[in-house]
Amino acid sequence: MYVTTGTDGRPVAATGIVTVPKSPPPEGGWPVVAWDHGTTGIAAECAPSRGFGPSSQGAGDMLAAFVQRGFAVVQPDYVGMGVTGVKHPYLDGRSAAYATLDLVRAAHNAFPDVGTTAFVVGHSQGGHAALWTSHYAPQYAADIDVRGVVAIAPANGFQLMPQLVAARDSTAEPYAGIFLLVVDGASATTPTVVPERILTPAGLKAAERAWHACAFDAPADQLPPVADLLRPDADLAPLVSALAAAAPDQVALNAPVFLPQGGQDPLGALNLPLTQTLCGKGASVEFKVYPDEQHTPAEVHAAGDDAVAWVQARLDGTPVTGACGF
């Protein structure tokens, strides 16, 4: 357990996992890989430290490979997960970045042989968090040298979801549960996002259940259909504004990025344009497609060897090649 900064700017307790190698530390300490996990839910018990660890997300072999290569691995639960009494601000980039950076600091304080050279790796929600960690690192944690980011299929485009739900678009039907997490998460950090002004009674009931269940725990028949989620007079503007402000195309990157993406993953249609946007801002982003992979743990597993090699190359000082070449 350690202290980070909550969405209100005040100190808040957070939890995470620290794994250190058995090998002797190099001068300056073991370099660090921070693993930002994908969506497991928004309840405290859905945290990696509570059992939703990397193996369940396809990252076990990759993180083990990092440790075997002499990296310390830290796994933040994020704000509001792992501890009780705080609501998790789902897809809030700032709090996820702070929780990630503060766990690197906490690991260094608890285990002096853990260094302050860091890489951030994440999938889906975690890929989103990893990009925002690069954005906030210089101003929030100048003592942490973030050398690179691996954002595997980062969460993207959620500012489009409210309008899809409002249009009762069939493409939104499989994402009803995620939409409720989005509403809950935004309400935890943005006072103008009020679920009672957005959701029907059935939607509110399902959104309240989400605070106490982990992802995919609830049977599909417990979720209202998309057509029954929104009030007729739903106030969507604050939600859309909050999601747009947290979108990954808003980051200013301060480290090179490797962005692996499954070819069968719906996020691919959004993350190639994201790469182009970030490259247009002067960032170094290498986009690589894994043609057969969907948005599942297998997507992480498929990219694992390349992610390890890419991080090792950045640690060794090898220049980036292939960035922004579409």
Tokens of 37: 């996990």
Question: Given this model, what pLDDT does residue 52 score?
Answer: 83
CA proximity to 242, closest of 314, 284, 183, 294: 183
| DSSP characters over 81-122 | SSSSSS---TT-HHHHHHHHHHHHHHHHHHSTTEEEEEEEEE
Question: Given this model, what pLDDT does residue 172 score?
Answer: 85
Question: Given this model, what pLDDT does residue 55 score?
Answer: 79
Question: Given this model, what pLDDT does residue 51 score?
Answer: 87
Tokens of 316: 């060794």
The torsion angles phi and psi of 247, rounded to 5 degrees, stand at -65, 150
Gap between the Cα atoms of 299 and 265, Å rounded: 9
* Residue entry with tokens 């009494």: 85
Tokens of 191: 């006072």
Gap between the Cα atoms of 46 and 103, Å rounded: 18
Q: How far apart are the first and last CA of the chain?
A: 43
* Residue entry with tokens 């417990």: 222
Question: Given this model, what pLDDT does residue 216 score?
Answer: 61
List the pLDDT tens digit at each of the 326 positions of the chain.
999 999 999 999 999 999 999 999 999 999 999 999 999 999 999 999 998 878 788 999 999 999 999 999 999 999 999 999 999 999 999 999 999 999 999 999 999 999 999 999 999 999 999 999 999 999 999 999 999 999 999 999 999 999 999 998 788 888 889 999 999 999 999 999 999 999 999 999 999 999 998 876 655 567 888 989 999 999 999 999 999 999 999 999 999 999 999 999 999 999 999 999 999 999 999 999 999 999 999 999 999 999 999 999 999 999 998 899 87
Q: Is 23 helix (H, G, I), strand (E, B) or coil?
A: coil
Instruction: Give tens-digit pLDDT for 203-239.
Output: 999 999 999 988 766 555 678 889 899 999 999 999 9
Find the DSSP H helices in the chain: 60-68, 93-110, 125-140, 161-166, 176-189, 201-210, 237-245, 268-280, 297-315
Gap between the Cα atoms of 43 and 213, Å rounded: 6
Task: Count H helices and E strands in the chain, helices first.
Answer: 9, 9
Gap between the Cα atoms of 297 and 266, Å rounded: 15
Alpha carbon distances (Å) from 39 to 116, 168, 175, 276, 297: 27, 24, 13, 25, 11
- In sequence order, the 6+-apart residues with CB closer than 8 A to the CB of 37 are 48, 52, 54, 57, 59, 75, 77, 78, 122, 123, 125, 126
CA proximity to 272, closest of 219, 312, 313, 325: 325
Question: Given this model, what pLDDT does residue 21 score?
Answer: 97
